[in-house]
Every structure is written in C-alpha cells, then in structure tokens.
Structure 1
Amino acid sequence: MIRDDIKQAQIAAMKAGDKEARAAIGLIQAAVKNRDIEARTSGAPEPGTAADDALVVEVLQKMVKQRRESIDMYRKGGREELTANEEAEVAVIERFLPQQMSEDETRAAILTIKNDLGASGMKDMGRVMAELKARHAANLDMSKASGLVKAALAG
C-alpha cells in the first residue's frame, strides 16, 4: 500500500544520501501521521486497506496543492530558489500519488455521472461534484474538475 511505498522510499533515500528526497518524505510522513491523529476520534481506517490509501492520497493531494500555491507566490515575488525547492518537493510527493486522469478521461467520467444522475443544469452541480469525488477522488484534481463540470452542465 502507499504507506509501505513511502517507508521504502525513505529507506532508499537514506541509503542513497538523497537529503532533499529524505526531507520531503519526512514531511509526507509527518502530514500522514497528523491526519491519523485527527482521524482517531472518528475511527481511522485500518492501515493497509483501500480506505487507508484514500486517506493518504487525500493528504498527498493537499500537500501538492499547498506547494503549487507557494510556487505561484514565490514566482510572483521573484524567489526562484524557493520555487525550485517547492518544485522538488512536489516531484517527490507526486511519486506516491496514483496516475491522474487525463482531461478527456475526466470529461468522460463527468458525462457518465451526469447521465447516471439525470443532471440537467447548474442546480445539479453539487450532486455531480459529490458523485465525481466519491468515484474518482484519488485519480482526479477536484479543483480542475470543477470547471469541467460547470462546462458540462452549462452546455
């Protein structure tokens, strides 16, 4: 499962002396551990299960989103050395994420959900987004999907 992959990557980075990857993986492990602590009160999923992988993917997606926002701010501020650091962390984090759906695959999934739910307009946006997240959250950037859902429902 993803947790095992992260642990193996940490060991490999330590053996290879890759300080940047080791530091980024340490951040991943800390974020996952924090999420585990938060989830304890609501009943955390059993490690090694699909539900646990979904939780880890959610944490990783959040980390990537935060870093991309930082990259944008650093670029606007002319801080290329910080931009490079954040981009390196994104590259390490993305190694553990499942393959993301292409734009065409996303459009096809939205169309399928739209037809399944009988969605006909913008009033159904919430229902379509909720179903899209339920079916494809691990393989999809929901912020990008939002625009595609709007386009599908408006047209």
Structure 2
Amino acid sequence: MFDKVKSDLLASMKEQDKFKLGVLRMLKSALQMEQINIGHDLTDEETLTVIRREVKKRNSSIQEYEKFGKTDTVQDLKHEVEILESYLPAMLNDEEVEKIIDEVIETFENPDIKSMGKIISLVKEKTNGNADMSKVSALVKERLS
C-alpha cells in the first residue's frame, strides 16, 4: 500500500498534477511519521489507519470552513478527501451496516443503552473499519432507544 502511494507520487510528478502531488507528499510524510513512531515498516492495515485518520482530519476541517463560508478551501479539502479515499477499500452501504448492527444486537440477551459501547466495538470488528463509525453510533443508539 505504501509502495502504491510512492509510485502514484512519482506519476503525479511526471504528470505535473501539483494538487495531487501535494496531497500525496503530505500522505507520504504522515506514513513516514507513523513508521518512525511504531518502529517498523507499516502493514497495509496500519497504512489504511493513517489514511483514514487523514480523511477524518479533512472532514473535520471541511465542517469548520463551511461554518465560515470559505468555499474555495472547502472545495480543495473535498478534493483532497477524494484523492485519499481512492486508497481506501469501498465503504459498506447503509443497508449492509444496518444488517450487521442487527446481527450484533441479536447476540445480546437484553440489549440496552449500557451495552452500546460493546455493540459498537463488535460492529467495528465485523466491518473491518469499512463503515462510518459516527453513522454506526447513531444507528445503534436509535435501535437501543
């Protein structure tokens, strides 16, 4: 996965796609920092975790910039998110997530709001990180109340 980022970075240099090049340089830097922090080469799963973290940062920034009406910055950030998400596996759709949530809730004898954390962690395991956890949280809360 990290090698794909590096090769795409070189391709962006050759194509002179400055925007994508900037995003990939930032991503490569974030991946290298993570590699230094953990002290070994990144696995694909660790690489995906870093990419998800970067997407989450940008989505948070998008919300903040939208509040202040900075449309050009919002558009740039959305484009960055698109580039980063191209490295992530496809996210599960709402139906699939709801089905998994229902399956997990059925395994509990008396599911209530107190078991919400356990349910969410089991759903996270079953989705392998391919679901928007804020949506998962809202759906679980809705089902338990």
**TM-score normalised to the size of structure 2?**
0.89
- Once the two structures are superposed, residues 12-65 of structure 1 have per-residue CA deviations (whole angstroms, 9 ceiling, x without a partner) of 21111111001101111111122222222xxx5x64xxxx22211221111111
Moved more, 76-85 or 16-25: 76-85
For 1:80, which of 56, 65, 71 is the aligned residue?
71
Change (3 A) 1:105 1:119: farther
Change (3 A) 1:24 1:152: same
In the alignment, which residue of structure 1 is the partner of 2:34?
35
The answer to whether residue 104 in structure 2 is matched with residue 105 in structure 1 is no
Q: What is the RMSD of the two structures over their aligned residues, measured on CA atoms?
A: 1.7
Change (3 A) 1:66 1:112: same
**4+ long deviations beyond 4 Å:** none
Is the CA contact 2:89–2:130 (under 8 Å) kept in the aligned structure 1? yes
Q: Describe how 1:1-155 pairs up with structure 2 within 5 A.
A: 2-40=1-39, 44=40, 47=42, 52-118=43-109, 120-154=111-145
Q: Which secondary structure does the structure 2 equivalent of 1:139 belong to?
A: coil
Q: Which secondary structure does the structure 2 equivalent of 1:138 belong to?
A: coil
Is the CA contact 1:119–1:128 (under 8 Å) kept in the aligned structure 2? no
Q: Which secondary structure does the structure 2 equivalent of 1:100 belong to?
A: coil
| Highest RCO, 1 vs 2 (Cα 8 Å, sep ≥ 6) | 1
Unaligned runs of 5+ in 2: none
Q: Distance in 2 between matches of 1:3 and 1:119?
A: 44
Change (3 A) 1:118 1:17: farther
**TM-score normalised to the size of structure 1?**
0.84
